[in-house]
Amino acid sequence: MSFNNDLDSLYRRVIMDHYKNPRNRGALSGDSVTIDMNNPTCGDRIRLQLKVEDGKITDVKFEGEGCSISMASASMMTQAIKGKTIEEAMHLSHIFSDMMQGKDYDHDIDLDDIEALQGVCKFPARIKCATLAWKAMEKGL
Ligand code: FES
């Protein structure tokens, strides 16, 4: 098996793990910002809730229905932004957007599981799936 095949199957496993065992799934109680967003091409939807205190995202949860890419991306995004400042979260979102456009992105930041989504840029129809949660996050912040 080639290196690329190994990497592809690792990425697929990471995506399926987030899909089957989503991080930060559920609803927040108390004060939070709620954003509802859907993917108009398929009707899949996400509800994202963010708790922001002193410029920092102290908690985040999501619920929704969608394909494995959209739900895995939501799970990865919430994992990545929890505890980050608004600026850091927006910076991550810009890096993710560059990645989805197939552009060279900032490799100085540890993207952790998010790297597993980099192959999505080769499938234009799936980019909207991967960016759904990120758009909701940007809207909320
Ligand atoms: Fe609907 Fe992916 S097919 S979000």
What is the reported pTM? 0.94
Q: Copy the structure tokens of residue 106.
A: 């900032």
Long-range contacts of 99-105 (CB under 8 A, 24+ apart): 100/127, 100/130, 100/131
In a 10 Å sphere around its CB, with 0-12 CB exposed, 13-18 middle and 19+ buried, how is residue 119 labelled? middle
The answer to whether the beta carbons of residues 87 and 104 sit under 8 Å apart is: no
Which of 19, 42, 62 should be mutated for ligand 1, with most atoms under 8 A from CB? 42
72 phi, psi to nearest 5 deg: -65, -40
Distance 76 CA to ligand 1 centre (A): 16
The residues, any chain, with a CB within 8 Å of residue 131's CB and separated by 6 or more, are: 73, 96, 97, 100
Number of domains in the chain: 1
**Type of residue at 125:** A
pLDDT of residue 132: 98
Q: Could you list the residue range(s) of the whole structural domain that residue 123 is in? A: 3-140
Can you list the alpha helix ranges (DSSP code H) found in the chain? Answer: 3-20, 68-81, 86-100, 124-140
CATH at residue 88: 3.90.1010.10
What residue's CA is closest to ligand 1, atom 2?
A: 129
Are the C-beta atoms of residues 10 and 17 closer than 8 Å to each other? Answer: no
For 120-129, how does the pLDDT look when each residue is reduced to its tens digit (9 = 90+)?
999 999 999 9
Residue 109 vs residue 90, higher pLDDT = 90
134 with 73: CB under 8 angstroms?
yes
Could you tell me the distance, in angstroms and rounded to a whole number, from the CA of residue 53 to the centre of ligand 1? 32
Tell whether the model's pLDDT for residue 72 goes beyond 80: yes
> In ligand 1, which atom is closest to the CA atom of 67?
2
Give the binding-site residues of ligand 1, using a 6 Å CB cut-off.
Answer: 39, 42, 44, 66-67, 69-70, 129, 132
Rounded-to-integer distance, Cα 63 and Cα 24, Å: 9
Using the mean position of ligand 1's atoms as its centre, give its distance from the Cα of residue 44 in Å.
6
Nearest CA to ligand 1 atom 4: 129
pLDDT tens string 4-27:
778 788 899 999 999 999 999 999
